[in-house]
Amino acid sequence: DNLISQIAAGEVVERPSAVVKEVLENALDAGASNVVIRLEEGGVKRIAITDNGRGIPPDQLTLAVARHATSKIASLDELEHVATLGFRGEALASIASVSLLTLTTRTADAPHAWQIENGKVSPASGAQGTTVDVQDLYYNTPARRKFLKSEQTEFGHCAEIVRRIALARPDVSFSLSHNGKAVDHWNVSAIDKRSAQILGEAFSNARLSLDESAGPLRIHGFVGLPTASKARADAQFFYVNGRFVRDKLLTHAVRAAYQDVLHGDRYPSYVLGLDLDPALVDVNVHPSKIEVRFRDSRSVHQFVFHAVSRALAQTSA
């Protein structure tokens, strides 16, 4: 039973950045407007994330870290099947099975906070919101720990997750520290300011904005001109219904537009959001994957290609 849960955890919690992603998504789901992320030793030693969201009522604390679907996983075969479909409601439980997890939380109407550690719920102190404190990741699964890269590399992956989420949510303030040193801090702002902070001045000085709709599709955001791309080679941020994705079809559509209008740009930089009816897209088929499947991929490709082309054509005309 324990082994199964650790294997299942491996699917959700591939590396420290996967913990950061799941815990940040929970914070935003809880309506937080301020999130503080403190990492130690690339996240392996510690990932402590504090939000000011609605908190968890004490009677739901045990359930929050329980494995909802464990009884359904009878064999490794089934486990794989479940994993490819993407199991939800498993993140905290998975994290708890491969780390020392402490959750401290307080709802608006509670007289004080509550804490759960090792399955035990006890009174605690703390403001409204939740702190998820993950220590000694993979302490009980040394094989998985061996797959981790250097502290700096793991931290880099974590920081990239924070940037992706912060770009999608300029209405939330974030701060990130590593080994006690402040790394990033973004106040609540508008998307143009947030993207300038995250992608750099070069991007904000040479970008074009777009916002187009056609039928059920809307695309909005910024595309950088070639001079802007020199800022970063990894400045491609695409969101589908607010979720970061790295998708071949979308990447291709954007590249094709750069090719067509500007006759190429090896590393176009952009921050683009595509919004559409959730019924027309299947996002996040696996917890650790960021792919999407569109019902009508041809029309999505055309829409993105034409919208980006028109935006880029504003200057080359």
Residue 88 in contact with ligand ADP, rule: CB under 6 A? yes
Q: Is 18 in the site for ligand ADP (CB under 6 A)?
A: no
Question: What's the CA gap between 287 and 88, in Å, rounded?
Answer: 8
* Partner that binds at residue 56, options Mg ion, ligand ADP, none, CB closer than 5 to 8 Å by kind: ligand ADP
* Shorter beta-carbon distance to Mg ion: residue 104 or 269: 104
DSSP-assigned states of every residue in 206-235: SEEEEEEEETTEEEEEEEE-HHHHTT-TT-
List the structure tokens of 175.
Answer: 């701060």
- From the CB of 113, what's the least distance to ligand ADP, in Å? 12
Q: Which stretch binds Mg ion (CB under 5 A): 25-33, 41-49, 238-246, 270-278?
A: 25-33
Pairwise CA distance, residues 3 & 274, whole Å:
40
Alpha helix ranges (H) inside the chain: 2-12, 16-29, 61-64, 76-85, 91-97, 142-146, 151-168, 191-199, 201-205, 226-229, 248-262, 297-316
Binding status of residue 165 toward ligand ADP by CB under 6 A: no
Q: Which does 18 bind (CB under 5 to 8 A by kind): ligand ADP, Mg ion, none?
A: none
Contact 199, 271 (CB under 8 A): yes
Residue 199 binds: one of Mg ion, ligand ADP, none (C-beta under 5 to 8 A by kind): none
Q: Does 115 bind Mg ion (CB under 5 A)?
A: no
Residue 119 interacts with ligand ADP (CB under 6 A): yes or no:
no
User: In angstroms, rounded to a whole number, what is the distance separating the alpha carbons of residues 117 and 96?
Assistant: 9
Binding of ligand ADP at residue 91 (CB under 6 A)?
yes
Any contact of residue 6 with ligand ADP (CB under 6 A)? no
Judged by beta carbon, residue 82 or residue 280, the one nearer Mg ion is 82
Residue 27 as a binder of ligand ADP (CB under 6 A): the answer is yes
Instruction: Please name the amino acid found at residue 181.
Output: K
| String of contacts with Mg ion for each residue 148-167, x by CB under 5 A | --------------------
Q: What kind and span of H or E run contains 160?
A: helix 151-168
Minimum CB separation from ligand ADP for residue 96, in Å? 9
Q: Six-digit token pair at 89?
A: 């409601």
* DSSP sequence for 7-18: HHHHHH-SSHHH
Residue ranges in contact with ligand ADP by CB under 6 A:
22, 26-27, 30, 51, 53-56, 64, 88-93, 130
